[in-house]
Amino acid sequence: MKKLFACIILILSFSIAHSQKPRARDLGIPFTGTTGDFNAITDVLGVEVGYSTIISGNGKNVIGEGPVRTGVTAIFPRGKAKKFSPVYANWYSLNGNGEMTGTTWVTESGFLETPIMITNTNSVGVVRDAVLKWYVDTDWYKGENWWYTYPVVAETYDGFLNDIYGFHVKEKHVLEAIGNSKSGMIEEGNVGGGTGMMCLGYKGGTGTSSRVLKMGKLTYTVGALVQSNFGAKRNLSIAGVPIGQELKDTLNYVFNAPPTSRRQEGDGSIIVVIATDAPLLPHQLKRIAQRVPLGIGIVGGRGSNGSGDIFIAFSTANEKAFNRDDLATVETFPNDQLMPLFEATVQSVEEAVINAMVAAETMEGINGNKAYALPHDLTIDILKKYNRM
């Protein structure tokens, strides 16, 4: 029976994998490091991700009616079934023209007590309120009659394609993302909070990747999930190749904006969530989060003035660390041994961004604005030209 069950799981995994959109490695793009089974943040045991994707309408933007190109992403560090199960965490901002709520308490307490939600800039409030109501409805705090919490909700701006001032994200979409949260293979590209996002001159969105590290007798996993909406096309680099320069006259986005628009090339944002099962304390997770910009820089991010580049890292180890009453005994990783985790963070962020772009499809939004998908064939040809395939 066990062998039969294992075969069924393998068949299902194979089927799911082959129903996914192409990923960067499917195109032959080379990356450093060994991935987990799903090459996703969900390779860290317990982590679940869910989406609500909202797409409707075409043509001229009518505020409140659309077109709509937006959504919500939910990340549960230990899965939603565990309810209140805090993890050690910390965060870092490369450029603060953006928002991630609840981070002051993460720094102060050292714990992330909530799921991480990601949406568009103007929907942070409704997502935060919906999460609070979900806590009440599901008894997230397990019968405690007095509690307070600060939901972590991050954002990037999708007003290039989406009727962002129409406030189309509702409570039902937050609940959908939460309800859809799962482990295993997850979607990328035009999904969830990343639905209407652009990246480095092309269509961006949601991407993920992971790295598995064998350190002595132990094995650890680092996973990244990104909501990519940043960067100028001229800086796009893949596998060390100046793809943006090579494609500077190819598939440039269409932006039907008034002359008074203040949008500058490179404006945007990126939210990055890093998960690991390595036993790291909050100050060490701050160090992990501080390495995220290195991965973004490899692909062409520059932390522009108009960008909200905000990152959070958590560890699923030390499950019994949070305790309101008693002393807790925890394990901690030696600082002298952190370098492989730093490298894994940089590598997984780099690949997650490119995965988001490879999976994303061309999208037309408000007023005929259009973000083109990264052209796979041309990208492969350029990589071959530079002997990087």
DSSP classification of residue 100: B
Report the distance separating Cα 293 and Cα 199, nearest Å.
Answer: 15
Q: How far is CA 377 from CA 203, 232, 247, in A?
A: 16, 21, 12
CA distance 301 to 96: 14
Query: Residue 77 CB: number of other CB atoms within 10 A?
Result: 25
Question: Which of the residues 209, 269, 304, 315 is marked catalytic?
Answer: 269
Active site residue 307: yes
Judged by DSSP in three states, 112 sits in strand
Distances (CA, A) of 340 to 34, 92, 208: 12, 20, 19
Handedness of CA 377, 300, 310, 285 (dihedral sign): positive
Q: Are strands 218-231 and 87-96 parallel, antiparallel or unpaired?
A: unpaired
Residue 158 appears among annotated catalytic residues: no
Q: 226 — phi, psi (to 5°)?
A: -120, 145
One of 43, 309, 315, 348 is an active-site residue; which one? 309
Backbone angles phi, psi at 246, to 5 degrees: -65, -30
Q: How far apart are CA 304 and CA 140, in angstroms?
A: 38
Residue of 237, 307, 315, 348 marked catalytic: 307
Residues with catalytic function: 269, 307, 309
